Amino acid sequence: MIGLHLTFNKSGLSITQEQYIKDVVQRYQTTAKPVSTPAVSTLKLTQATNDCELADPKLYRSLVGSLMYAVTSRPDIATATSICARYLSKPTTAHMTAARRVLDYLATTPTLGLQYTIGNPELTCYVDASWADDKDTRRTRYGFAIYLGNNLIAWRSKLHPSIALSTAEAEYIAASQATKTIKYLRYLLKELGIPQNKPTILYEDNEACIAMTKNKMVTGRSKHIELKQHYVREQVGLNNIELQYIPTKQQRADLLTKNLPRPAFESLRQQLMQPTTNHRHDVNKNTGS
């Protein structure tokens, strides 16, 4: 792809977009203020704002489009960029400030990228949801990160089209969305001669959600959930998927559901983009989330 820089070394392969980022920074601003995160964690953008609409919304759309391309190798900006992309129709000064914050962050960290190494070709997934995160619609933002061995091969940060009525339901919907991608990847890897002989582990930090995937009884709390969202339960029953509990501090997908403060962001960014350990976590499942 255009703008990607591939570096081969003894440990494997690294993918960055350093020159592309520098070009984008030069295109949209002459200087960049150093920042440690792509967004302010306390800021909640909305469409209903008292800020003035931009005189030239084309500039905003162009900037956000450039940021979206940078997500190709920078999943750490996926959430902030996705949020900015929701306001392309009528961007305001507040939205432009948020978009430029993402650009400032890229200018501060142009050499960050993805690392790929040779290892055990086993699929694992981290999935999370931020219930009713969008203030305009109260829809849930979900995210997942899928690894082949220690290599991040797929990720998503997106608002779900339907409204969840609880945190557990939001997490359950997110797990179903991740399961669809995992099922496709399992088929693809099988065709490539890399069959997944064990269930793919989904790491989830909500125990109520995990219980819903194992309990086939329809209760008053779950009967309203759309049938298509029970896909994850079906795949658990077929032994293709296994949900395991993981503490929130180790939930890498949390980075793909909300804007985090600096300590949590930097910790999860390291775990998400440059993992140094395997994905078999030894955690206490009796710990609450």
- CATH number for position 216: 3.30.420.10
Choose one of 42, 73, 108: the last residue of a domain. Answer: 108
pLDDT (mean) for 69-98: 94
**Quick one: 175 and 101 in the same domain?**
no
Asked whether residue 126 carries a pLDDT value surpassing 80, the answer given is yes
**Quick one: 126 and 269 in the same domain?**
yes
**Quick one: 65 and 201 in the same domain?**
no
**Quick one: 183 and 222 in the same domain?**
yes
Sheet holding 114-116, edge to edge: 5-9, 12-16, 114-116
- Please name which of 111, 156, 164 lies closest in space to residue 134, comparing C-alpha atoms: 164
pLDDT at 120: 86
Asked whether residue 273 carries a pLDDT value surpassing 50, the answer given is yes
**Quick one: 74 and 124 in the same domain?**
no
Q: Are strands 200-204 and 123-130 parallel, antiparallel or unpaired?
A: parallel
Paired strand residues for 142: 129, 158
The pLDDT tens digits for 18-69 are 999 999 999 997 567 899 999 998 888 888 766 788 778 999 999 999 999 9
Choose one of 88, 108, 128: the last residue of a domain. Answer: 108
**Quick one: 263 and 127 in the same domain?**
yes
Domain that residue 68 falls in: 5-108
**Quick one: 123 and 88 in the same domain?**
no
pLDDT at 280: 61
- When pLDDT is cut at 50, 70 and 90, the band that residue 288 belongs to is very low
**Quick one: 141 and 262 in the same domain?**
yes
pLDDT at 252: 95
The pLDDT tens digits for 213-252 are 887 654 545 554 555 567 888 898 889 999 999 999 999 9
Q: Are strands 123-130 and 114-116 parallel, antiparallel or unpaired?
A: unpaired
Q: Are strands 241-245 and 151-159 parallel, antiparallel or unpaired?
A: unpaired
Domain count along the chain = 2
The pLDDT tens digits for 201-213 are 999 999 989 988 8
**Quick one: 59 and 175 in the same domain?**
no
pLDDT at 283: 54
**Quick one: 94 and 151 in the same domain?**
no
| Mean pLDDT of the residues in the chain | 87
**Quick one: 141 and 260 in the same domain?**
yes
pLDDT at 192: 95
**Quick one: 250 and 151 in the same domain?**
yes
- Residue 287 covered by a domain: no
